[in-house]
Every structure is written in C-alpha cells, then in structure tokens.
Structure 1
C-alpha cells in the first residue's frame, strides 16, 4: 500500500520534460553505433525501450489520475513545452530502429506515432500559451525549454528521411521531411531571438540558468542532423535535388552556430557552479545537457558525410566519449538520488 502511494506521489509530480531521458539515451546510442561501439549502442537501445515504455505508462497514469495537474503544467509557459519531449523522444527512438538496430516496421510505427504526437502537442502548446488567462511575465515564461518545439520538429524530419530511404516511392516523405526541416529552422530563428533577449537584457541569476538552456545548442545540432540526412538520402534528380546546395549551406550555417554556442554554455556552467556556488544536484532537466552534446556529435558525423568533409570526423571521434561520459555521470547521480530517496522512505516507513 505504501509503495502504491509513493508511486502515485511521484506520478503526480512527474516532470513534463521527463522524456528528455529517452532523447539523451537514444542519441548517445546512435553516437556509439557510429563509432564502433555496437555492444554499448545495443545496450542503450534496450534500456531506452524500457525507459520509454515506463515513462509512457507513468504519463498515461498521470493523465488519468491527475488531469488537473497535467492541464496546469500544459498551460504554464515555463513548463508546457516540456510535453513536446514525448514527440521528440518517439522520433529519436524511431531513428534508433534504423541507425542502431534495423527494425523497419517498428521505425514506421514510431514515425506515425511521432508525427501524430507532434501535430497534437505543438499546436496545443502554442494555443494554450496564447489563450492563457494568467501569464507569469516574460522572464518567468521564456527559457531554453521552448526550443523543444524545434527539436521535436527536426527529430521528426530526420526520422521521416530515414524511413523514406527504404520506401519504393520516397518522394512524398522526403518532401515532408524537407518542409519540416525548413519549419524547424524558422521556429528556431523566432524562438532563439526571444531566449537571447531574455538572457542578455534581463537579470539572470545563477539558479535561473537551468539545463534547458543547453537546448539553445541542441536545437541547432538536431537541425544539422536533419539537414545532413536530407542531403545524404536526396534523389539524384528532381525538384528536391535542385534544392541541395541551399540545404547544404543552411545546414552548415546551423552547425557553425551550434559550435559557437558550446564555449559560451560551458562558461555559464562554470559561472553557475564555481563562481556562484550553485550545488550540483540531480534534476530531470540534466538530460537536457546530455542530449545536445550527443546530438552535436551525431550531427557533426553526418555533416561530414554530407559535405564529404572528412576533417570534421575528428570532432565526433572525441565527442562520442564526451557524450558517453556525461550520460554516465548524469545516470549515476540520478541513481544515487533515487537510492537515497528509497532508503529514506523505507526508514521512515519502519519508524
């Protein structure tokens, strides 16, 4: 009985962005697969399937038992975008089913599910945000988490490109993937303007520089991946082929901007933890740091293939170990916190 009550308490407090765990684990798995670590990639793939199923079950239980809390989170501009991690995670898991372990049917199912989730969640989020009666103000509303709208769009684009590559008639899917790529780019330019405006022209305390700000770079990294895959799998002739020079240049533009963000984000992390002494504690949002690092490595690897720029491969060759190390660090800190909570709960129950 106590276990069930404890589970319901955690379900009620479930973070809207909890699927960032699946996004991070999935892209690190792809990263390992690209660099000759098949056992690591397969292990992370199995782990990701279990994590996705578990978080989906908890999310459905929360929707059934605590609908009021779900609606409150969805209409909160500072938290609502987190629900889009479900669409993004579904697409990243689908990409694993192509790039890590070939499961074409499951990839198609996840592509359909990802597309449906993306359509429902992205429109509901923006509609709820626009029509909300209570708005907490600009500085408390906007943050890097809003860029999950871009991540989910580009993750869907990448998955559709991969699925289209095995279709007999890929033209329509490739066109949709290219359109989503363009839409994601437009959304990034729109949202990042607001995020940077908030960071530069309003006071930002160290505690307010949270892990979702890493998505400033992560959204660019997944855009790089989506664009690179479009170039790699593009047809030799036709309307899409004529757009390739534009897609190549635009993708390089986003990769270069992602590269620029990395040193600044590292400096801000040092400022947060070393200069301002904000303690290192596990948060669900910590996976928002792992995902961009892994995605930057994967995106750079695919960009090198798309542009035939082999000199870029030195970056992912080192980046794969950085992404694995950060994933392992966050996982260990999370398990440590989970163990401590479980130990405290059992001690409290005994007394």
Structure 2
C-alpha cells in the first residue's frame, strides 16, 4: 500500500517538472500536426486527416492546460523565457498553432463554430504576444549578444501573422458572398507578414554569414527561414483564389500573384541549403542525433511547403507543379511520423527530461 503513494509522488514530480520547464515553442507540435493533417486531406486521405485532427485537438488542449499551469505556478520561469530574445519568440507558436487548428476545422472537419472561436483566440493571442514580445525585447535593460539573441525562431512572428491571414481567408470564403472588409484585412495581414519576413530574415542571414556558427547552434528553428516563406505563399495563393474577379480588390490581384510566386520561389531556394547545413551538422560535425521539442520546427515547414505548392498550382493554374505536393505529402507524413515516434521513445526513456 505504501508503494502507491510513492508512485503517485514520482508521477507528480515528473508532471511538475515538465510544466516548469515547458518549451516556449511547444505549440509547434500543433502547427506541424495541423498542417500535415491538411496536407493528407488535400490528397483524399480523409480518415487519416481526421485522426490527425483529433490528435491535434487533444495536443492543443493539453499544451494549453500546461501553459496555463506554468503561468500560475511558475510565473518567474515563464517570464524569464518570454523576455529572453533567444526564446521568447517561441511563445508566438501559440497564436500560430491556434490558427492552424482553426484552419483544420474548415478544411478537414466541418466545425465552423469552433473555427470562429479559434479565429478570435488566434487574433487576440497574435496581437498580445507580438506586441508584448517586441516591447519586452526593446525595453530590456540587459541584452545578450547579437548571436545569442537572433535565430530562425524569430520568424514565428511571420508564421503567426500569415496563419491568421490564412484562417481569415478560409472563414470569409466559407460564406457567400465573401465579406470584402475581411478579405481586405487578410490582405493587409499577408502584406504585413511579408514585410516582417524581409526585416527579420535580414538579421538572421547576417548572423549566419558574418558570425561564427557552431554546428550545435544550427538548430531546427532555422527551418522556419523556409517555412515562413511557404505559409506566406499559401496565404497569397488563397487570396488569389478567393478575391472576387470584380470589385475593389480585384485590381491588386496581379500584384498578389507576382509577390506570392516570389515568396514560393525563395522558399524553394532555401530547401537545398538547409539540407546541406543539416548534413554539415550531423555527418561532418557529428552532432548527436536526438529528439528535441524544437524538431517540430522542421516538420511544419516541410508540410507547409507541400500545402502551399498545392494551392499555388491551383491559384496560378500551373498544373506541372502538382508533382511536388503529390510526392511531398508522403515526405511530410514520414517526417511527422519519425519525430512522433522519436518523441514518444524519448519520453519513456527519459521521463524527467523537459520537452
């Protein structure tokens, strides 16, 4: 009988440790699972897409509860992460993950009311987190060096902005006729996300090129260099498809088409470079290959590129591009499955290690 309380205490300590050290970017799991679900749904794998939606809804609820408990019981640790330039941007995955889950509610399962709630929650969290993070970073009295502050994770600000634009376009397009004011808002978010990308990627590339980079410092968030472009291309493609051919916004369609293709082409350019750097990290520098919570920052860009290419091919009527998502859907699903299995195995082998 005495063993039962001991096991309960041990389990309580493990849960408490995981909450206390919860990764600020933990909602990247929701982003990755959501986009892979949408990806397989586009290719007719309905049951698998719905299963991933159910799993994602559960993951979102669990992570939301854990984040709330961390705020209530460990506010100092949470605040320290939030004001840290190198980690604070990870909190924006909450806004991005909320919007990706909302998009699932429109594309994978018919849950329009839940999508409305997630749209509102995503918008509120986006406004609060983006401005609070930037304000905290700007006004911090003690700041770490440039190389310890900037990384690809900052581009989650772009992903969150475009995820909100995507959900807003999808929700607006679900009613007829679409509301021009909401489409205009989505277009403004799309352009804002594009502007943020150009600003932040300049700093990221400057850090990569002109400062020494250790192999262990090339972390998974650098894949967001490509993922932020891919979701920008997705938002633009959806705008092209759903902005009416006649009306006040129609005259902007050629501009949106060109800009969207520009971002998709740049996302494509990033992929070989990122693969080369991964080879340098693991094959040349022999960094140990082990699961980290940030690994979901690889899954999301891979899945997002596939979904974005699928929509771009339809928006610009480029049928020859369809071969990319036809192959990419299996690649993104395989990458998701690989990290899911790795995460489960690591959780069982190292139950007290924070994720």
Deviating 4+ runs (over 4 angstroms): none
Residue 63 (str. 1) matches residue 71 (str. 2) = yes
1:72 pairs with 2:94: no
Instruction: Give the TM-score taking structure 1 as reference length.
Output: 0.97
3-state SS of the aligned residue for 2:249? Answer: helix
Q: Does 1:54 align with 2:69?
A: no
SS in 1 for 2:138: helix
Equivalent residue for 1:90?
A: 98
SS at match of 2:206: helix
User: For 1:41, which of 25, 49, 55 is the aligned residue?
Assistant: 49
Superposed CA deviations along residues 232-266 of structure 1, whole A, max 9, x for unmatched, are 11112112111000000000000000000000000
Please say if 1:122 is aligned against 2:130: yes
Q: 1:249 aligns with which of 254, 258, 261?
A: 258
Count the aligned residue pairs.
344
Tell me which of 218, 233, 240 is aligned to 1:224. Answer: 233
* Corresponding position: 1:180 with 2:160: no
1:4-25, Cα deviation, whole Å (9 max, x unpaired)? 2221111000000000000000
1:9 aligns to 2:17 (yes or no): yes
Superposed CA offset, 1:118-171 (max 9, x none): 000000010000001111110000000000000000000000000001235511
Q: Which residue of 2 aligns with 1:280?
A: 289
Match of 2:320 in 1: 311
Cα distance, 1:341 vs. partner?
1.9
Per-residue CA deviations over 1:267-318 (Å, capped at 9, x if unaligned) read 0000000000001111000000000000000000000010011111000000
Residue-by-residue CA offset, 1:80-119 (whole Å, 9 max, x unaligned): 0000000000000000011111211111111011000000
Gaps of at least 5 residues in structure 1 are 346-351
Q: How many angstroms apart in 1 are the aligned matches of 2:344 and 2:16? A: 20
Runs of 5+ unmatched residues, structure 2 = 1-8
- Map of 1:349 onto structure 2: none
Provide the rounded CA distance (Å) in 2 between the counterparts of 1:66 and 1:314: 48
Deviation at 1:323, TM superposition (A): 0.2
CA distance in 1, matches of 2:144, 2:75: 21
Corresponding residue for residue 194 of structure 1 = 203
Aligned to 1:348: none
Structure 1 counterpart SS, 2:350? helix
- In the alignment, the residues of structure 1 paired with residue 190 and residue 94 of structure 2 have an alpha-carbon distance, to the nearest angstrom, of 19
Q: TM-score, normalised by structure 2?
A: 0.96
Superposed, which structure 2 residues align to 1:295-306 within 5 Å? 295-306=304-315
CA–CA separation in structure 2 for the residues paired with 1:133 and 1:101: 47
- Aligned counterparts of 1:89 and 1:40: Cα–Cα separation in 2: 19
Matched, 1:26 2:34: yes
- CA RMSD in angstroms comes to 1.0
What's the counterpart of residue 150 of structure 2? Answer: 142
Q: What displacement does 1:2 show?
A: 2.3
CA distance in 1: counterparts of 2:184 and 2:206, whole angstroms:
34
Q: Does 1:289 find its partner at 2:311?
A: no
CA distance in 1 between partners of 2:88 and 2:114 (Å): 28
2: CA distance, partners of 1:6 / 1:166: 44
Counterpart CA distance in 1 for 2:299 and 2:14 is 28
Question: 3-state DSSP class of the match of 2:154?
Answer: helix
Q: What is the distance in 1 between the residues matched to 2:48 and 2:175?
A: 29
Distance in 2 between residues matched to 1:291 and 1:54, nearest whole Å: 19
The aligned counterpart of 1:164 is 172
- How far apart in 2 are the matches of 1:238 and 1:117? 32
Q: CA deviation at 1:224?
A: 0.6
| Alignment partners' CA distance in 1, 2:318 and 2:78 | 46
